[in-house]
Chain A
């Protein structure tokens, strides 16, 4: 059983070689959890922005934030879960899609979830769904017995909705 609550952290990091390994190393070194991690440079190419989804009690998460701030390459850390925020994730899914009936059924489910069929083969579909992680989970549920051939998720990216909370990157 997991204890504590889920937190989504946004981290601005110097876009330097080795910087990411310091962040990842910190989590393993201190026994913190990472559920998902996404990273890419921002519009300012000297900076990368990471979104880490982690869990723990308030005290643990506060320690994670403090230890992240202690890393020299970390410019700023925000716990997005403290306020109203947006979360998005992308799922790419290659599924078996054989016969008119099954293909139609899949297409229907995809459209209900506002997704896309992005590639097609006679007996396969590649699907793309984006949204909150729980929506992606629900989509997988809704697909039912369809056979999943390949599965990849981007990990969460997140941003605060507030006008004031800006991580300038």
Chain B
């Protein structure tokens, strides 16, 4: 013991019970208290007090990205894979504006995120001072809510509220903008995290249970249906309702389709006759046909957006529609349902299961009634279903079809990898040819369609599950939008696999130009200016591989996936002339489809 000990003891006795902290310390402490273990971020002037507070602790890990957009996508990937809230920390001005694409991406897909941005000193706000932007204003249309902190003492409450809002009801991103003076290290105060009830908001009460008579009506409608379809969306995955949804669909013998966001909400499988695959713009023939000809549709956690409905006035003309969603504003936004149930998907579906248990027609009778419908569906499937078991018939010899790459990935990973993706043809092939058996395995920007999302999202997933197999299926266009994160993966040892379906073009754009602009490829090609991806990733210290011959595909892929502790970038030369089919013809009904370059439904 040193000689100052008695003095220190005395001082401790005199101190108030609550510890004195700075705003920066209070922020870190509050984050810890609400359960945060990791923060994705990038420092700068207005956030430096916070970064100093981070430096002095070790219970929250900070991952330094190379661009703030990637911080948000990574936190978003983490959130999608784990169901927890992702956290981002950036500085004011350019740091803050760089997050906007990421925030909008999360907003469109209802992903819980808290984005903390440094702001210039309170006194300087509004003076156009260095690195000032109105972050609350800039982000307003793409956040669930936002806060501008007014004084340091408010930080713990702001954090608690931000997490509460981000994670409850229909989740979404929340921005907390903190002026630099609020995190000043020399200005300390008593840390006090308000109790949960103190941060309750009279203006925010997420919906709870739905009325039981609606539940019973929905169950009866589904039982009596001749040609029902369950149409499951991102709300099933994000709402932790995949298990109940699956049980309900199975017990009601409902042919089931998932949206791009809902994949994994019902176990995708090549054997289950009730699994229809994805629906919508690039959905399967059988899913879109079944939707169009159905008499009752059970939509759960879906938005009836334009990539599903095609023309809303032609949408499923003979169907009675049951729409379950947690957000009242989703109901009757595009399609007027015959029966609307507002509530959390897991609870509503759970209540429907209970209603099933409490009597009514036997499951066997229900199954019987479905047989002709199932027959029709299997007819559609065998006529024009995706070719899952062998190579596409029109494959060009010597070229690798992108679909085959996904099929190979599916085989090699046993269908259980985390697959993240970007936007384009590669994304659609991944969604079509990798049947996801579990929720939260397909990590994708569905609503905003953000190129550049896939790779940083994969980092977030890999960080959350260090031992899991995490694969980013991307295109040479998309991957170049957040490529700088290769450095982050070295620093934090994130051995994701990048599978680049390299068609040497903005393939999806080119496809539309082929189909709608007589093949005028306006600014969608760049084959003579592509980087050597293998050398590029090697320069960062990673492993690269290039696959060009069809016979090398599976063995080389297997080798790449086998390097579990390394980031491997597999650059695959795929057939540049391939198109994604089926493709809905707009304007039209759900089942107006191109099935190939020449064939229409």
Q: Which residues of A contact B (CB under 8 A)?
A: 14, 17-18, 21-22, 25, 29, 59, 62-63, 66-67, 69-70, 72-75
Give every chain B residue within 8 A of A72 (Cβ-Cβ).
144-145, 165, 201, 203-204
User: Are the CB atoms of A75 and B137 closer together than 8 Å?
Assistant: no
Q: Which residue of chain A has the shortest Cβ distance to B333 in the bound complex?
A: A63
User: Are the CB atoms of A70 and B136 closer together than 8 Å?
Assistant: no
Give every chain A residue within 8 A of B37 (Cβ-Cβ).
none
CB distance from A72 to the nearest CB of B (A): 4
Residue B148 at the A interface, CB < 8 A?
Answer: yes
A14-B203, A72-B204 known; A25 vs B329 contact (CB < 8 Å): no
C-alpha spacing A70/B171, complex, angstroms: 12
22 intermolecular pairs with C-beta atoms under 8 Å apart: A14-B203, A18-B136, A18-B140, A18-B148, A21-B140, A25-B140, A25-B141, A59-B332, A63-B333, A66-B328, A66-B329, A66-B331, A70-B329, A72-B144, A72-B145, A72-B165, A72-B203, A72-B204, A73-B203, A74-B203, A75-B202, A75-B203
Give every chain B residue within 8 A of A73 (Cβ-Cβ).
145, 203
Give every chain A residue within 8 A of B240 (Cβ-Cβ).
none
Residue B327 at the A interface, CB < 8 A?
Answer: yes
A72-B145, A72-B201 known; A63 vs B137 contact (CB < 8 Å): no
Give every chain B residue within 8 A of A75 (Cβ-Cβ).
202-203
Q: Which residue of chain B has the shortest Cβ distance to A72 in the bound complex?
A: B145
Q: Across chains A and B, which 7 residue pairs bring their CB atoms closest together, nearest first?
A: A66-B329, A72-B145, A75-B203, A29-B141, A66-B328, A72-B204, A67-B329
Give every chain B residue within 8 A of A59 (Cβ-Cβ).
332, 336
Q: Which residues of B contact A (CB under 8 A)?
A: 136-137, 140-141, 144-146, 148, 165, 201-204, 327-329, 331-333, 336
C-alpha spacing A74/B144, complex, angstroms: 13
Additional A-B contact list (11), CB under 8 Å, known A17-B148, A18-B140, A69-B329: A18-B136, A18-B146, A18-B148, A21-B140, A25-B140, A63-B333, A67-B329, A69-B328, A72-B203, A72-B204, A73-B203
CB distance from A57 to the nearest CB of B (A): 12
C-alpha spacing A59/B337, complex, angstroms: 13
Q: Which residue of chain A has the shortest Cβ distance to B145 in the bound complex?
A: A72
Give every chain A residue within 8 A of B204 (Cβ-Cβ).
72
Q: Which residue of chain B has the shortest Cβ distance to A63 in the bound complex?
A: B333
C-alpha spacing A80/B204, complex, angstroms: 22
CB distance from A69 to the nearest CB of B (A): 7
Give every chain B residue within 8 A of A25 (Cβ-Cβ).
140-141
Give every chain A residue within 8 A of B333 (Cβ-Cβ).
63
Q: Which residue of chain A has the shortest Cβ distance to B141 in the bound complex?
A: A29
CB distance from A27 to the nearest CB of B (A): 12
User: Are the CB atoms of B332 and A62 closer together than 8 Å?
Assistant: yes
User: Are the CB atoms of B140 and A22 closer together than 8 Å?
Assistant: yes
CB distance from B95 to the nearest CB of A (A): 20
User: Are the CB atoms of B327 and A70 closer together than 8 Å?
Assistant: yes
Interface of A, secondary structure class, is helix
Give every chain A residue within 8 A of B202 (Cβ-Cβ).
75
CB distance from B119 to the nearest CB of A (A): 13
CB distance from B539 to the nearest CB of A (A): 43
C-alpha spacing A21/B145, complex, angstroms: 12
Give every chain B residue within 8 A of A63 (Cβ-Cβ).
329, 332-333
Q: Which residue of chain A has the shortest Cβ distance to B331 in the bound complex?
A: A66
Q: Which residue of chain A has the shortest Cβ distance to B136 in the bound complex?
A: A18
CB distance from B165 to the nearest CB of A (A): 6
Point out which of B141, B148, B203, B329 has the most chain A C-beta atoms below 10 A from its C-beta: B203
Give every chain A residue within 8 A of B332 (Cβ-Cβ).
59, 62-63
Q: Which residue of chain A has the shortest Cβ distance to B144 in the bound complex?
A: A72
Q: Which residue of chain B has the shortest Cβ distance to A74 in the bound complex?
A: B203
Give every chain A residue within 8 A of B148 (Cβ-Cβ).
17-18
Q: Which residue of chain A has the shortest Cβ distance to B142 in the bound complex?
A: A29
Point out which of A67, A69, A70 has the most chain B C-beta atoms below 10 A from its C-beta: A70
A63-B333, A66-B329, A72-B145 known; A21 vs B137 contact (CB < 8 Å): yes
Give every chain B residue within 8 A of A14 (Cβ-Cβ).
203
CB distance from B208 to the nearest CB of A (A): 15
CB distance from A166 to the nearest CB of B (A): 15
Give every chain A residue within 8 A of B329 (Cβ-Cβ).
63, 66-67, 69-70
C-alpha spacing A69/B136, complex, angstroms: 20
CB distance from A26 to the nearest CB of B (A): 9
C-alpha spacing A151/B136, complex, angstroms: 34
Q: Which residue of chain A has the shortest Cβ distance to B204 in the bound complex?
A: A72
C-alpha spacing A75/B137, complex, angstroms: 21
C-alpha spacing A59/B332, complex, angstroms: 8
C-alpha spacing A70/B333, complex, angstroms: 14
Point out which of B137, B144, B165, B204 has the most chain A C-beta atoms below 10 A from its C-beta: B204
Give every chain B residue within 8 A of A66 (Cβ-Cβ).
328-329, 331
Q: Which residue of chain B has the shortest Cβ distance to A70 in the bound complex?
A: B329
Q: Which residue of chain B has the shortest Cβ distance to A17 in the bound complex?
A: B148
C-alpha spacing A58/B211, complex, angstroms: 24
C-alpha spacing A70/B207, complex, angstroms: 11
C-alpha spacing A25/B143, complex, angstroms: 12
CB distance from A65 to the nearest CB of B (A): 9
C-alpha spacing A29/B336, complex, angstroms: 22
C-alpha spacing A25/B145, complex, angstroms: 13
CB distance from B509 to the nearest CB of A (A): 27
CB distance from A62 to the nearest CB of B (A): 7
Give every chain B residue within 8 A of A69 (Cβ-Cβ).
328-329
CB distance from A32 to the nearest CB of B (A): 13
Give every chain B residue within 8 A of A29 (Cβ-Cβ).
141
C-alpha spacing A70/B326, complex, angstroms: 11
Q: Which residue of chain A has the shortest Cβ distance to B140 in the bound complex?
A: A25
CB distance from B6 to the nearest CB of A (A): 49
Q: Which residue of chain A has the shortest Cβ distance to B146 in the bound complex?
A: A18
Q: Which residue of chain A has the shortest Cβ distance to B202 in the bound complex?
A: A75
CB distance from A135 to the nearest CB of B (A): 35
